[in-house]
């Protein structure tokens, strides 16, 4: 195994989980995740960072996938601690291993930046939602300020290599609308005390159109 393979499989997921578990990030998770209810699916659930914010009384079942096997044990342990028999699997968002219309809520936090095919992932999330279901999203992406966006363009090629394919320039709300969701923004802005090129966040509720 090369150093890059070892880094991508073991060290990088833990570094990213650490970065995504910092105070201001967790504060924004705490504002969004409690909205989940019913049968819940979480994309990128490895590490279990969101689990402390779910309101157990509102959750009927919990399922999730993550591509990093090294993080799944922590997610399963946290689920058990909350009294859930969680269906947590290794997998990727481009091919979610659940049937159509299986879930009332899909939760996606700081994940769309790193998938290989965001359009396919959004299509899959739309597919597994029930009529009336909701996608709760909290993502970072392309900044609205031209000066910051130019730096994102410059930094992204290197950033992707060290941060697990994390893209800095992907749109968030506009991309969800283009994938067939109605988007209800709940907030947007730069994370305090974070480098602005990686700090633009948008979060909200997205619902399937055409239902």
Angle among Cα 148, 149, 150 to the nearest 5 degrees reads: 90
Report DSSP letters for 35-89, one per residue: G--EEEEEET-TT-TTGGGS-GGGEEEEEEEES-HHHHHHHHHHHHHTT---EEE
CATH number at residue 126: 3.40.50.150
Q: Give the CA angle between residues 107, 111, 112 to the nearest 5°.
A: 100
Instruction: Give the residues of the chain that fall short of pLDDT 70.
Output: 7, 9-10, 210-211
The DSSP output letter for 140 is E
CA atoms of 58 and 114, how far apart (whole Å) = 29
Number of domains in the chain: 1
pLDDT confidence of residue 207: 96
DSSP single-letter state for residue 168: S
Q: In degrees, to the nearest 5, what angle opens at C-alpha 120 toward C-alphas 75 and 109?
A: 35
- Strand 87-90, strand 181-190: pairing: unpaired
Nearest in space to 121 (alpha carbons), one of 175, 165, 82, 158? 175
Alpha-carbon torsion (63, 134, 175, 195), positive or negative: negative
Torsion of CA 118, 124, 130, 134, to 10 degrees: -10
Q: pTM of this prediction?
A: 0.94
Task: Report the pLDDT value the prediction gives residue 203, as an integer from 0 to 100.
Answer: 98
* Domain ranges, residue 27: 3-208
């Amino acid at each position: 195994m090369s150093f890059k393979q070892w880094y991508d499989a073991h060290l990088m997921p833990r570094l990213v989980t650490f970065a995504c578990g910092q105070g201001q990030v967790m504060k924004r998770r705490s504002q969004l995740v409690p909205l989940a209810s019913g049968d819940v699916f979480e994309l990128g659930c490895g590490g279990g960072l969101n689990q402390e914010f779910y309101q157990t009384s509102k959750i009927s079942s919990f399922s999730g996938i993550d591509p990093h096997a090294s993080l799944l044990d922590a997610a399963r342990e946290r689920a058990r601690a909350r009294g859930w028999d969680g269906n947590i699997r290794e997998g990727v968002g481009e091919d979610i291993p659940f049937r159509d219309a299986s879930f009332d809520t899909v939760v996606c936090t700081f994940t769309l930046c790193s998938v290989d095919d965001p359009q396919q992932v959004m299509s899959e999330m739309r597919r597994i939602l029930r009529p009336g279901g909701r996608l709760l999203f909290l993502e970072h992406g392309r900044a609205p300020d031209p000066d910051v966006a130019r730096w994102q363009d410059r930094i992204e090629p290197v950033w992707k290599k060290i941060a697990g394919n994390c893209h800095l320039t992907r749109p968030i709300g506009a991309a969800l609308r283009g994938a067939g969701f109605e988007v209800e923004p709940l907030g947007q802005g730069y994370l305090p005390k974070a480098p602005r090129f990686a700090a633009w966040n948008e979060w909200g509720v997205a619902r399937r159109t055409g239902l």
